[in-house]
A = this chain, B = another copy of it.
Amino acid sequence: MDTQAEIEDFLLNGHLQYVPHVSIDCAIFGYHGQQLKILLIRNKFIQGWCLPGGYIKRTETLVKAANRIVKERTGIGNLFLQQFKTFGDPNRARINEFDEELWYKATGLRITKTNWLIDQTISVGFYSITDFSKSTPKPDLMSDDCKWFDIDRVPKLEFDHKEMIQEALHTMRVYLYHYPIGYNMLPEKFTLSEIHALYETLLGKKLDVSNFPKKLISLGLLKKLSEKRSIGPHRSPHLYKFDKTAYDKALKEGVVLT
């Protein structure tokens, strides 16, 4: 199918394949070199920036749908994914402003207010974290751009997506106190400074002492290696790596990292 045929099929028959009235929006955070970014797409019809999103196939679980959406936009599968909130304000998608002519101009199709895409939609928010330097951002069927923005320099967003990013950041930060984090964002072997910087960047604040690295060690989540990294004449800090078994157990059961 060419793009036009795909759009037409999605608009007219999408409700048979996907659950109507429910969407997924993904706050995909990217970390690299002490920078925190977020992936946005530009909707080509309304020419506005949004979080990447999509619909849930009738055969999919929510997390499987979110994983598919994140993989399609970043090129990376099986990323860490967590639901943070579901959004259902009746005015969130501004369906009262539906403009038949605008949709016709954008899609070449005459659709009405009763189309499954126009009717009231509740959206399940997921967030994800990855190393942005390893991703290959790709727009979806309805968008013409997809790229990373510094978390402090996010453009004006459509719908309730600004609130979504705030809620996702908040949930991720609370999560950091109870679960280990770092896989996919640090090299296999890393220094305590590097994991300290990761926590500071994700939490968005300076940490006086390296509480998190220390607690990760005392919980057996980090293993000290005999290997060191030489970073200066008198500076060669020890390298560490995650104990994957302990890490996975802590991810499942939760810990208290303070």
With contacts A174-B178, A258-B258 known, is A122 near B85, CB below 8 A?
no
The one of B56, B122, B256 in contact with A62, judged by C-beta atoms closer than 8 angstroms, is B122
Any B CB within 8 A of the CB of A88: yes
Copies in the complex: 2
Instruction: Name the interface residues of A33-72: CB closer than 8 Å to any CB of B.
Output: 56, 58-62, 65
Residues on the B chain within 8 Å of A21, using CB: 19-22
Residues on the B chain within 8 Å of A62, using CB: 86-89, 122
Contact with B along A82-114 (1 / 0, CB 8 A): 010111111000000000000000000000000
Complex CA gap A46/B53 in Å reads 37
Closest to A253 in B: B170
Any B CB within 8 A of the CB of A177: yes
Any B CB within 8 A of the CB of A130: no
Any B CB within 8 A of the CB of A124: yes
Any B CB within 8 A of the CB of A204: no
By CB atoms of chain B within 10 A, which of A61, A65, A88, A258 has the most?
A88
Complex CA gap A124/B177 in Å reads 25
